[in-house]
Amino acid sequence: MTRSTRGIVVFADGANLADMRALHRAGVVQGFTTNPTLMRQSGVSDYAAFARDVLAEISDVPVSFEVFADEFPEMERQARLISGWGSNVYVKIPITNTRGESSCGIVRRLSADGIRLNVTALLTLSQVREVCGALSPKVPAIISIFAGRVADTGLDPVPVMREAVMIAHALPLAQILWASPREVLNVYQAAECGCHIVTATKPLLDKLSMRGKDLTELSRETVQMFFDDARRAGYQL
């Protein structure tokens, strides 16, 4: 994968096919991530049909699709099915099931069988160590750490992400992904931490065009926005 924004690959996070198609054609991102929540929010009713539509449009960059079972045998069956959908598919495996039981057993089996995984919903360094111990060093993998959710608890995710990159260094084909960014600044923080990938929603991607913008001019544009909106609303005192 090539790198883009300040040395980090940007993946689009979402499940709107029109947006995914437009971003891919524009070359704005270098990959895509989805999950069942995003699909439901986008009105997707047929999981496999949606995946087929996506992969018919996007076949040359990584696309992650997540299993949605909670029992490990069914989770593994779904993972093996999903992995066959395309050569650019990464199968998202949650770090635990809903009972908090580690999924690293199936991560180990799937990775050993050459299946490219995106192990997701990690929040702790102990989880990172466990995943790195389960992944095959010979198979590409993504380790998705939800830095934004770490920050939501009041903790600084930057030290966590820096150490995660160091832990994963022993796996030459594993990439650390900064997930759930809350603002554009997080994209630059992810790059400075040495993360390989950062995800971004469409609104966040749109804001990346503001990099280097003159702050004085941005201040004036903000005042202009307030003025224009007040005039359109017809406010009077």
As annotated, the active-site residues are 92
Alpha-helix runs per DSSP H in the chain: 17-26, 36-41, 47-57, 72-83, 104-112, 125-134, 147-152, 157-168, 184-193, 202-207, 215-233
147 - beta bridge partners?
none
Q: CB of 232 within 8 A of CB of 226? A: no
In this structure, the dihedral spanned by the alpha carbons of residues 158, 160, 162 and 163, taken in order and rounded to 10 degrees, is: 160
Amino acid letter at 68? Answer: F
The SS3 call for residue 87 is coil
The SS3 call for residue 6 is coil
Residue 209 per-residue DSSP state: G
